[in-house]
Amino acid sequence: MTMKTLSRQRTFTHFSHKNKPAYTIELGERSLFETHDCYGGRITEETILRTDLDLTGKINLATGPIYINGVQPGDVLCIEVGKIELNEFGVMVMMPGLGPLGDQIENTTTKVLPIKENVIHFTDTIHIPVQPMIGVIGVAPAEGSVQNETPGDHGGNLDTKEITTGNKVYLPVHHNGGLLGLGDMHAAMGDGELDGTGVEVAGAVHLTVTKAANWDIESPVVETNESYLILCSGTKYDETIKRALNMSVQHIQRRLAVGFDDAYRLLSATCDLKISQIVNPLITVKISIPKTLIPKLF
Ligand code: CA
Ligand code: CA
């Protein structure tokens, strides 16, 4: 089967069912999706500062929307992430107020970081291994429109480092064709996205989109070799964690045919609470359910 390339020329700023599709793909078709970095490629040198750019309504441009033939409300997409190709440099901005320690930043600066042979050259002597990931990936939400900066049950700015090569992202579909979009790749990012940015980078990613038969989820799930990550985004830690825990317990109850109490015990004995990011308009947490407990979520 030939591979389709979807260029980064067609982008959007809000996930919405009102967006007109830019591309159409078929289920099971291997496609290469080009993406901008979160600044739309406008920061190319260290003299260009984040504060120089008016990015109002332009940050985190997502390639798409992509209409997937044969996809309907109630379906769940399975997006297999293949090889990720990165641009030859990444960007990390800094400015007063950025991230949780932003009150300690006095100057606005930009670092442009060369990427060579899977290594990010932070300085001549400090090198970081490339761990590419997709920051923004989602479908049109059930209702209204959600700006690309914000994560949610539709996906969006999940900034989850496991959304990478070899893993699968599952998203519940609310509108015909799904209206998939993605962008905001990072060459590296730790859990939390602790200063507010990853190593922001343009690139291209090979994806194969299929339907996950018989799946029933209300928010994104990421499958790795070892586990299923139940993702949940919200305004407050306690409420967001509680909702993610409830969804995870329900999976354990259903899959293992146990009551609430035992599912709650098994959750505590085997599952990990992790943080995807704490810097977006909503935080994103993830509960990791090991495949040793549940080999197949559905
Ligand atoms: Ca992001
Ligand atoms: Ca980003």
Q: How far apart are CA 38 and CA 218, in angstroms?
A: 27
Q: From ligand 1's centre to the CA of 258, what distance in Å?
A: 37
Per-domain residue ranges of the chain: 4-217, 222-290
**pLDDT value of position 273:** 98
The pLDDT, as a whole number, for residue 130 is 98
Q: Hey, is 41 helix, strand or coil?
A: coil
SS3 104: helix
For residue 63, give every residue at least 6 positions away whose Cβ sits within 8 Å of its Cβ, in sequence order, or none.
Answer: 6, 7, 8, 10, 11, 22, 33, 34, 35, 36, 181, 182, 183
State in Å: Cα 160 to ligand 1 middle: 9
Q: According to the model, what pLDDT value does residue 1 have? A: 57
- The reported pTM is 0.97
SS3 243: helix
Residue list, CB under 5 A from ion ligand 2:
38, 135, 184, 198, 200
At residue 245, φ and ψ (nearest 5 deg) are -65, -45
| φ, ψ for residue 192, nearest 5 deg | 105, -30
pLDDT at position 109 is 97
DSSP 249-272: HHHHHHHHT--HHHHHHHHHHH-E
Question: What whole-number distance in Å separates Cα of residue 108 and Cα of residue 51?
Answer: 7
Mind listing the pLDDT tens digit of every residue in the chain (298 residues)? 568 999 999 999 999 999 999 999 999 999 999 999 999 999 999 999 999 998 887 899 999 999 999 999 999 999 999 999 999 999 999 999 999 999 999 999 999 999 999 999 999 999 999 999 999 999 999 999 999 999 999 999 999 999 999 999 999 999 999 999 999 999 999 999 999 999 999 999 999 999 999 999 999 999 999 999 999 999 999 999 999 999 999 999 999 999 999 999 999 999 999 999 999 999 999 999 999 999 999 9
Q: Which string of b and e fits 266-298 if b means at least 16 CB within 10 Å?
A: bbeeebeebbbbbbbebbbbbbbbeeebbeebb
CA of 158 to the centre of ligand 1 (A): 7
Given this model, what pLDDT does residue 118 score? Answer: 96
Question: Which superfamily is assigned to 222-290 in CATH?
Answer: Acetamidase/Formamidase-like domains (3.10.28.20)
Q: How many angstroms is it from 8 CA to the middle of ligand 1?
A: 17
State residue 115's pLDDT score: 98
**Distance (Å, whole) CA 109 – CA 184:** 20
Say how many Å lie between the CA of residue 149 and the centre of ligand 1.
7
Distance linking the first and last C-alpha atoms of the chain? 29
- Ligand lying nearest the CA atom of residue 201: 2
d(CA 252, CA 297): 9
Q: Sign of the CA dihedral 47, 49, 53, 58?
A: positive
Secondary structure element (H or E) that encloses residue 241, with its range: helix 237-256
Among candidate residues 172, 177, 176, the one with its CA nearest the CA of residue 156: 172
**Cα 135 to middle of ligand 2, angstroms:** 6
The Cα 219–Cα 209 span in angstroms is 17
CATH architecture of the domain formed by 4-217:
Sandwich (2.60)
